[in-house]
Every structure is written in structure tokens, then in C-alpha cells.
Amino acid sequence: MTAAGRAPTIAIVGRPNVGKSTLFNRLVGRRQAIVHDQPGVTRDRVAASFRFGPEREAHLIDTGGLVPGDDPIGLNRQVLVAVEESDLLLVMVDGKEGLTAGDERVWHELRRTGKPAVLVVNKADTKAAQANVHEFSRLGLQPVVAVSAEHGRGVADLLAAIEAALPAAASEVVAAGAPRLAIVGRPNVGKSSLLNRLVGSERALVSPRPGTTRDPVDTLVERAGKSYLLVDTAGIRRRSRVEDAPEELAVMMARRQIEAADLAILVVDAAAGVTSGDLAIAGAVWELGRAAVVAVNKWDLLDVEGRERLDASWPRLDQLMAAPRRVNVSAASGRGVEKLLPAVDEALAAHGFELPTAEVNELFRFLVGRHKPPTVAGRSWKLYYATQVSTRPPTFMLFANRTMERASSYRRYLENALRERLGLPGVPIRLVIRRRTEGRPSRG
């Protein structure tokens, strides 16, 4: 049974390379988990919501392959933590290969948890799988559902089995409207450690080895009556430094997380200062118009020289992101982390800023009057009318006698002056300028 007040949690578990990520993508209806022929590609738990019955949703977790025994960087521990959090397990096996010793060891490990489970026999569209299904009865696990995760065969039967295994709780609800916060940064700057500190549990895999986090990890947390969806993304590297195909996919997915997020928490390594890699990521966040907070991690480890080096490198980031909110933290000790979500709330509020049209026009008249517009062929740029057309980021439409280049210094003046007058530090501002011809506005 699920706990009151939340949707049930379901974990897909099994040995490596049996199709867990393919099934996860099939159930959630999008390619969120990385799928690759190389065993062990899924290193962290990947999570998303999906529907499995009329008006019912569950939190689905895709885990890395469980290999009982040696666990040098904590992969098995991550799987077992996911199992502990779950209300139901989808134990997945490869029907084409038949029952293996690895499957038996996995089920022996999982059976001790006492969690209800459904045995999912994958690749049921092959003759080998159809011939081998009976072998899995030796596990003593019921019910058994044969599927083809790749082609969708048997998924309806699996959804029915899930619904039967999870009777609806009276107060089952799904959190909605929580802002999505993408935790981004270069590899090994402490993104996963920061996520774990915010969540209060060992949610994401933490290792000193760079590039350990490849999949985005979603976690819903509540603080002071507010909900946030935290996403720990794979470390973003320059394309030339991506070593293999799964790493390249992880880079692409991390960028998608920025696009899908309401706000980006950019994690910077205090000891390294602001690097060119940090600036590249900050540029992507800014160009996509996302709100941002910069978490300067490992702040407590800095000596005087290190702080001077950080302070010397900071102005580049400060200028690029128009003075973003900055929080000095230590994800390892927790120092300063309590200040991060209040800064996030402030940034989100500023990102959603709205101004009535009358005040928009009054403000633009003041700004244009304070600084003379440029002239072209002896004619000044003339503003007729302005209005705010959207938020997140605040976007203003201006009707004028001519358009203006994106790189125009006067456009930058208007954006920066707006940000200063409205008290929106670190918030991207968009200006859409249209040319008005013969009394009617037309796109320039």
C-alpha cells in the first residue's frame, strides 16, 4: 500500500542490460532514460511520472543493473535505496537469454526486502523468449508478464498487473505545479552531493570519479510548505571531451534539462573559480531565458588565496548573467545550503514579474527620454507603444518606426535599464521590436 498523500513509487530492477531503460521510456512515453547496448549505462536512478490506470499515476524509477557482490562506486547501493523507497518492483529479465544465474542472484537479493513484485519477461516478440518463459517459474515470482519493451507488446497487460498490485489509496495525490529546478554544472563540482543535501538522503550517486552521473535524476522535495522538483543532470562537458557514446547522450540530455526547467542552479567549484566551462553553461542558461541561482560549492575549503582567485574570476559570470543571485555553500557539510531555496524563490518570483501596460509605457518613455535613441540616415528611432506580452522570462513588445539589431547597444541599454529599474537582478529580459507601417503594426 502507498503512504497517504502521495502517488505510489515503482522501481524497475534487474541485472544489467535486460531492457530496463527501454521499458522505462515506453511507460513514461518519452526518451528520458539513456538506452545503449553497453551494459551498465544507467548508473543513477532516473524517475518520472506515468499513468497506469484511470486517474492514477505512479512515480517510476529506472535503476542501474544490480550485480550482487563487488560494488566499488556504490551502484548496488543506489539500486537498493530505490527498492527501499518503492511500493512495487518490476523485476525484469531477458526472455531471449532465458533464466541466468545473474537473474537468480538478483531475485535472491530482492526477495529479502519483502516488497511486492511483478516479473517482467522482456523480448517476448522473439521465438526464443516464447520458448524460455516457462524457465522463469523457477524463481517462484508471480505474476509473470511477457512484454516487448522495444515494440510495446504486452504493455497493456503489464499496466493491468501494476494496477492489480497497487490498490488505490484513499488520499493518493500527485504533486502538481512544483517548479522544476535543474542542477547543472561541470562534471565533479558537487551537483549530486548538493541534491542529496537538499533532499536529506543519498538520492544521487556521489563519487570522486568525474562523469559518474549520466542520467538526469528527478526528486520531489518539500520545504516550508513549498514543493520543488530537483533534477541532477549529467556533468556538461565540451563535445570534444566526451569520451564515449553514452557520455555524449548524457551531455545532450543535460542541455534538455535546462530547456525543460523553470530555473537552473549552476554549481561552481569555489576552488577552481569561474572557468570557461562554467561560462559556457551559464551562457546556455541565459540564452534559453531561464531563471538562475549560482551555488558556489566547497566554499568552506577556500583559503585567502583561493578566495582572491574566485573573486577575480567572478566578474565574468556576473556580467554574463546580469548579477545572478549567489549562494556560498558546502554540499559536504551542509553549510549555507539552507539559504539556497529562499534564493530560488526570489529568482522565480523575479522571473515571473508582470507590469501593467500603462506602467510599461510610462517606464519606456522615461528610459527613452533619459538616453537619446540612435539615428539612421538622419532619422531617430521612435517608440510608439510598449506592452508586456509574457513572463518567464519577462518579455516586452515594442512598436516603433523601425526594428533594431539584436546586437544593438541601445537594445542592451533598454534591457539593462529595465532590469535595474524593476529590481530584477540575474533575470533575462526579452525585447520584441516591431515596425509600425501606415498605422498598423507589422513584423520587422
List CB contacts of 38: < 8 A, sequence separation 6 or more.
17, 244, 245, 246
Computed over its alpha carbons, how large is the radius of gyration of the chain? 26
- Whether residues 224 and 295 fall in one domain: yes
- Whether residues 210 and 231 fall in one domain: yes
At 217 the pLDDT is 54
CATH classification at residue 105: 3.40.50.300
Please calculate the CA angle 41-46-51 and round it to the nearest 5 degrees: 130
Asked if the structure places residue 64 within a domain, the reply is yes
Asked if the structure places residue 175 within a domain, the reply is no
Which pairing describes strands 46-53 and 88-94: parallel, antiparallel, or unpaired? unpaired
- Whether residues 420 and 281 fall in one domain: no
Point out the domain boundary residue: 301, 336, 351.
351
Whole-number Cα distances in Å, 382 to 355, 376, 400: 22, 11, 5
At 71 the pLDDT is 59
Tell whether the model's pLDDT for residue 238 goes beyond 60: no
List CB contacts of 288: < 8 A, sequence separation 6 or more.
258, 259
Reading the block at residue 217, the C-alpha cell is 535524476
Confidence of residue 235 (pLDDT cuts 50, 70, 90): very low
At 269 the pLDDT is 95
List CB contacts of 37: < 8 A, sequence separation 6 or more.
17
Asked if the structure places residue 343 within a domain, the reply is yes
Convert the pLDDT of each residue in 55-69 to its tens digit.
Answer: 788 888 888 888 876
Asked if the structure places residue 279 within a domain, the reply is yes
At 140 the pLDDT is 92
At 369 the pLDDT is 94
| Number of structural domains found in the chain | 3
Convert the pLDDT of each residue in 334-352 to its tens digit.
Answer: 999 999 999 999 999 999 9
Confidence of residue 378 (pLDDT cuts 50, 70, 90): confident
- Whether residues 371 and 232 fall in one domain: no
Q: Alpha-carbon distance 213 to 249, whole Å? A: 12
Reading the block at residue 157, the C-alpha cell is 497487460
Least confident of 47-61, 275-289, 318-332: 47-61
Reading the block at residue 180, the C-alpha cell is 522544476
Asked if the structure places residue 57 within a domain, the reply is yes
Confidence of residue 246 (pLDDT cuts 50, 70, 90): very low
Q: Alpha-carbon distance 13 to 174, whole Å? A: 23
List CB contacts of 390: < 8 A, sequence separation 6 or more.
none
Confidence of residue 30 (pLDDT cuts 50, 70, 90): low
DSSP state for residue 66 in the 8-state scheme:
P
Confidence of residue 243 (pLDDT cuts 50, 70, 90): very low
CATH classification at residue 434: 3.30.300.20
Q: Alpha-carbon distance 224 to 339, whole Å? A: 13
Q: Alpha-carbon distance 237 to 213, whole Å? A: 12
Give the DSSP per-residue string, 312-330.
HHHHHHHHHTTS-EEEE--
- Whether residues 246 and 270 fall in one domain: yes
Confidence of residue 431 (pLDDT cuts 50, 70, 90): very high
**Closest to 61 in 3D by CA, of 18, 19, 17, 12:** 12
User: Which domain, by its residues, includes 361?
Assistant: 357-442
- Whether residues 334 and 435 fall in one domain: no
Q: Alpha-carbon distance 184 to 186, whole Å? A: 7
Tell whether the model's pLDDT for residue 244 goes beyond 50: no
Torsions phi, psi for 20 (to 5 deg): -60, -45
Q: Alpha-carbon distance 78 to 40, whole Å? A: 13
- Whether residues 341 and 211 fall in one domain: yes
Point out the domain boundary residue: 288, 321, 351.
351
Q: Alpha-carbon distance 213 to 203, whole Å? A: 12
- Whether residues 236 and 338 fall in one domain: yes
- Whether residues 338 and 362 fall in one domain: no
Q: Alpha-carbon distance 253 to 63, whole Å? A: 17
Asked if the structure places residue 1 within a domain, the reply is no
- CA 39 to chain CA centroid, Å, is 24
What is the dihedral angle through the alpha carbons of 290, 291, 297, 302, rounded to the nearest 10 degrees? Answer: 110
Asked if the structure places residue 426 within a domain, the reply is yes
Question: What is the pTM (predicted TM-score) of this model?
Answer: 0.60
Secondary structure element (H or E) that encloses residue 365, with its range? helix 357-370
- Whether residues 196 and 342 fall in one domain: yes
For residues 193 and 212, which has the higher predicted lDDT (pLDDT)? 193
- Whether residues 141 and 240 fall in one domain: no
Percent of the chain with pLDDT over 90: 52
Asked if the structure places residue 4 within a domain, the reply is no
Q: Alpha-carbon distance 282 to 242, whole Å? A: 19
- Whether residues 194 and 320 fall in one domain: yes
At 200 the pLDDT is 80
Among 256-260, 390-394, 434-438, the range with the most confident prediction by mean pLDDT is: 390-394
Point out the domain boundary residue: 142, 165, 188.
165
pLDDT (mean) for 312-328: 97
Burial of 312 from C-beta contacts in 10 A (0-12 / 13-18 / 19+): exposed
Q: Alpha-carbon distance 382 to 374, whole Å? A: 9
Q: What b/e readout covers 176-207, taking b as 16+ CB neighbours within 10 angstroms? A: eeebebbbbbbbbbbbbbbbbbbbeeebbbbe
